[in-house]
């Protein structure tokens, strides 16, 4: 039995998970989210994030071992997220992982955080301690993967475990960042995605204001969201609901207007995704599966839009279970597992990679 302890501290979540490589089962996944600590600042404050990681890391790892019902002696490999992410946060997980590897004589694997997201679609079902997760066997290679979070928006051609090419990516902001920033303009805290989804649902997912969509560049897959953010802001100024010097004009920024903005924004981002996915399907007609991963893949509306287009093009659609869309250590342990199989171990000089 090869047991992998996964550690994830890239940003504002402290995660630890145990993965049984032989049985292909996630035995535990514990996560502490710092959302409450950053909410009032409208975004993640790096200094607060790293201090909070330091406070939580030991107890989260202990909890993950306990939940898996294994002791540290039974762990064979420590897999740790190396980056990209916030330097201070990454250091906490990496130093802890090195400490465990050195003092208990375990093998060490550095895992790229983005690889974690890309392969999170293989984590199947809903995890509870009594219902260990199995691994999705039907995705296959090559497949297309749309990975969208607060830091990235990329479409990949995934050729094998650990091997993928960028088909297209954002040239400026990530889609998650657009949700976060526009939610902030509307007066909401971080993260913005879930509240935008809720408001959009209240407005019936209608396209009230038809914000500008990025124009396709021929057959090229590419994303851009910074212009969209500005367009939403200036539209609110035009409607007398926002002043660029003062901020929201509360009497005009009504609940109804907020819902309509959120709804138009979500439909717009849905259209941008669908347009790009169609281009990718034409470019790679033989691929059979499409996966949607990253924090933004929690969004049910976007999932349903992508599922629809997959059905139309006869592709199998997979998305990471919501608990593994946002940052988590199960995806790090899983990637650590196939890296261990390929003997891709690191020594104690392993360093963080912030980009």
Question: Quick one: 132 or 326, whose CB is closer to ligand KG4?
Answer: 326
- Of 45-53, 62-70, 219-227, 295-303, the window that binds ligand KG4 (rule: CB under 6 A) is 295-303
* Residue pair 140/37 in contact by the 8 Å Cβ criterion: no
Q: What is the total residue count of the chain?
A: 355
Q: Contact residues for Zn ion (CB under 5 A)?
A: 149, 327
Other C-beta atoms closer than 10 Å to the C-beta of 73 total 8
Cα torsion through 89, 93, 98, 103, rounded to 10: 130
Minimum separation from the CB atom of position 181 to ligand KG4 (A): 9
Instruction: Work out which of 142, 168, 193, 336 binds ligand KG4, going by CB under 6 A.
Output: 193
294 binds ligand KG4 (CB under 6 A): yes
The residue number with the shortest CB distance to Zn ion is: 327
Question: Quick one: 101 or 331, whose CB is closer to ligand KG4?
Answer: 331
- Distance, in Å, from the CA atom of 190 to the CA atom of 310, rounded to the nearest integer, reads 31
149 binds ligand KG4 (CB under 6 A): yes
The site partner of 150 among Zn ion, ligand KG4, none (C-beta below 5 to 8 Å per kind) is ligand KG4
Interacting positions 150-189 with ligand KG4 (CB under 6 A): 150-151, 176, 179-180
Instruction: Work out which of 111, 186, 221, 296 binds ligand KG4, going by CB under 6 A.
Output: 296
User: Locate tokens 């928006």: which residue?
Assistant: 153
For 137, the 3-state DSSP assignment is coil
Question: Quick one: 83 or 337, whose CB is closer to ligand KG4?
Answer: 83
Question: Quick one: 214 or 326, whose CB is closer to Zn ion?
Answer: 326
116 binds ligand KG4 (CB under 6 A): no
What's the N-to-C CA distance of the chain in angstroms? 34
Hey, what are 338's tokens? 């196939």
Minimum separation from the CB atom of position 114 to Zn ion (A): 8
Minimum separation from the CB atom of position 103 to ligand KG4 (A): 30
Minimum separation from the CB atom of position 106 to ligand KG4 (A): 26
- Distance, in Å, from the CA atom of 298 to the CA atom of 293, rounded to the nearest integer, reads 8
* Residue pair 16/61 in contact by the 8 Å Cβ criterion: yes
* Inter-axis angle of helices 175-185 and 193-202, nearest 10: 70
* Residue pair 83/352 in contact by the 8 Å Cβ criterion: yes
* Residue pair 277/309 in contact by the 8 Å Cβ criterion: yes
Minimum separation from the CB atom of position 302 to ligand KG4 (A): 7
- Of 124-132, 241-249, 296-304, 309-317, the window that binds ligand KG4 (rule: CB under 6 A) is 296-304
Residue of 225, 7, 204, 230 whose CA lies nearest to 97? 7
Contact residues for ligand KG4, defined by CB under 6 A: 11, 149-151, 176, 179-180, 191-194, 197, 294-296, 298-299, 326-327
């Amino acid at each position: 039995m090869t047991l992998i302890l996964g550690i994830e501290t890239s940003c504002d979540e402290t995660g630890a998970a145990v993965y049984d490589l032989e049985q292909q089962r996630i035995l535990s996944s514990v996560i502490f989210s710092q959302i409450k600590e950053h909410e009032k600042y409208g975004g993640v404050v790096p200094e607060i994030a790293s201090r909070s990681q330091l406070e939580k890391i030991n107890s989260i790892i202990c909890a993950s071992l306990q939940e898996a019902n294994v002791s540290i002696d039974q762990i064979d490999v420590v897999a740790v997220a190396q980056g990209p992410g916030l330097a201070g946060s990454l250091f906490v997980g990496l130093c802890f992982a090195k400490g465990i590897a050195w003092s208990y004589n375990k093998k060490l694997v550095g895992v790229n955080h983005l690889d974690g997201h890309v392969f999170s679609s293989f984590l199947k079902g809903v995890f509870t301690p009594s219902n260990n997760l199995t691994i999705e066997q039907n995705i296959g290679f090559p497949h297309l993967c749309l990975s969208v979070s607060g830091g990235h928006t990329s479409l990949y051609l995934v050729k094998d475990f650990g091997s993928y090419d960028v088909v297209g990516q954002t040239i400026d902001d990530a889609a998650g960042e657009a949700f976060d920033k526009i939610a902030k303009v509307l007066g909401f805290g971080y993260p913005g995605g879930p509240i935008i989804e809720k408001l959009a649902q209240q407005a019936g997912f209608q396209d009230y204001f038809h914000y500008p969509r990025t124009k396709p560049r021929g057959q090229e897959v590419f994303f851009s969201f910074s212009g969209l953010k500005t367009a939403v802001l200036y539209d609110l100024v035009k409607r007398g609901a926002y002043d660029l010097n003062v901020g929201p004009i509360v009497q005009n920024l009504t609940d109804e207007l907020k819902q309509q903005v959120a709804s138009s924004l979500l439909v717009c981002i849905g259209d941008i995704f669908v347009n790009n996915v169609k281009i990718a399907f034409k470019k790679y007609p033989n691929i059979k599966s499409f996966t949607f991963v990253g924090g933004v893949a929690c969004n049910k509306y976007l999932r349903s839009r992508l599922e629809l287009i997959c059905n139309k093009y006869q592709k199998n659609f997979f998305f990471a279970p919501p608990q593994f869309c946002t940052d988590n250590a199960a995806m790090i342990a899983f990637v650590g597992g196939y890296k261990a199989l390929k003997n891709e171990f690191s020594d104690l000089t392993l360093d963080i990679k912030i980009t």
